[in-house]
Structure 1
């Protein structure tokens, strides 16, 4: 039924409002006969920055799976999708003139406004840090162990487009993670570089340096590429190995001691899972390239030293093999060691922090702290 001005004025009086309290143009809502199904059409609340991003022609991507929460991504950020309820009715309308744009001149008029939907829930976007362990897990199915280990001439692995479709993170976040982790493109497909291959690459270069009686800081990146090219290593993989294990300053090179130490620990430990600490530290240091000194602190995030056992043991415990659910991860950590210092536990929980929860806040929320001889320790809450 169409309303007239007299009916509108009656409603104003019931609301204890006067005509002078409102604009000259009033909108009269009318609901279309076949209103939208709220289960098929959803409302999404976005920030001003996100609205400008969409308005510029960019896209948002919704990603999810049977075993994962639904997330939404821009080109550079990842957001959680949370359903929120409101006690007010939200109306979906194709257009609505904002009150500030209505000119307060002339005689009063009525404007018919059609409502296409009524909602009491909507979705919020909350900026979050993506969990990228799935990226390593996906690439681990296609390990690269060296050219001589390739069984087929066909390219194997995952293209970047395939990674974007299965990894719950934005394009930029996936690219950044690929740069940090031991992964490289082989014939156009992304592969995870096998620990044994990386160990062999570093050890082979070290043997050349020993044979030539040179230290790493006496050669240039081009020398490394030339020497490793002789063993038919792919150019992109040589570049990746240099970025992983060396600091490059113009034409000068230096071993990244922590990265090399962790690589050699990962190579020495897996088969035994636990190693007599005295034997391990001896073998670990003796295997190192010239100029690299292994420190126990370098094991943080890769292995832990159990001094309570007899004999003391070094146990294989790499961060990337732990579950991404925080309580499950902490349960494993505290079963392996009852009390952790902030320095030793940080590499194991850093990846689970987000924009609102840093390491200290995360540990405060999920663990119990105590101070012994002036040192703060974290232990299980339960």
Structure 2
């Protein structure tokens, strides 16, 4: 896919698909036109809303782009544990004057409907998170000329993606902001593997091209993962603060606010491990949140919206990677240019015969 990726975008830089309204047509088109591969996040959207965003993006750029889908989730949540967590959040509902959400929503994120649209009206790239599609689905995308990428967090998941017929894997290190893209959320498995180690493990396990993701913010870091064997680097937090990003202004400001000194993995907001800035909600509820995605996501959705409306970042899900302090509030095109210059300089310094 390295040569194919070069045909998709001049620079080996992918804008991560950040769900929840962050990665919309404006951000994706700006990245595409600046030489990267922009992505739309279809997660949490209806098939019709996804279709309309694709239509809008095509009106903004003629460059190739990608669309990311969430895989359906197995119904393994403990109903009793969810009710205990609901009781714990009762005070939050009172404080923000909003009811807790209904946890009986669908767990498939309208996956089949979105796949049908993307097969009927193909886009250049489709990526998948929270699992691996079947061989039949991946083969169908291959037949319509769409490149497929599966997000993985282990060499075993990468092996499953290769056997299913994916064209590439997005290797997500534990440093990454937002949800961990594990295929099977095991509450007994703590932490995760760092990106450089994970790249090495996946390279040993599969022959698929690797897109590296996890805490990457600078061109020198991109050069590092390329030297480690990746064909491209995927950046999310770096683009979150761009003016084209749909992230809430409070979320953007929090990236460099000393009130939020670091990040942690938590289930507090969605029931699935995700890395975000440590705030009051995470500290108070993270230790007690059950492994129940997307049920906890539905349960807390109203609270998070109410906190944002009240101007209170302490109640919001402030997803961010470990490199959030390096965020630069630049237009996406200018950030792409800066990353490209840094990447070229880093590559030159690593070239044989280079002197410092």
Q: TM-score, normalised by structure 1?
A: 0.25
| Larger RCO, structure (CA 8 Å, separation 6 or more) | 2
Structure of greater Rg: 1
Higher helix share: 2
Q: TM-score, normalised by structure 2?
A: 0.26
Higher strand share: 1
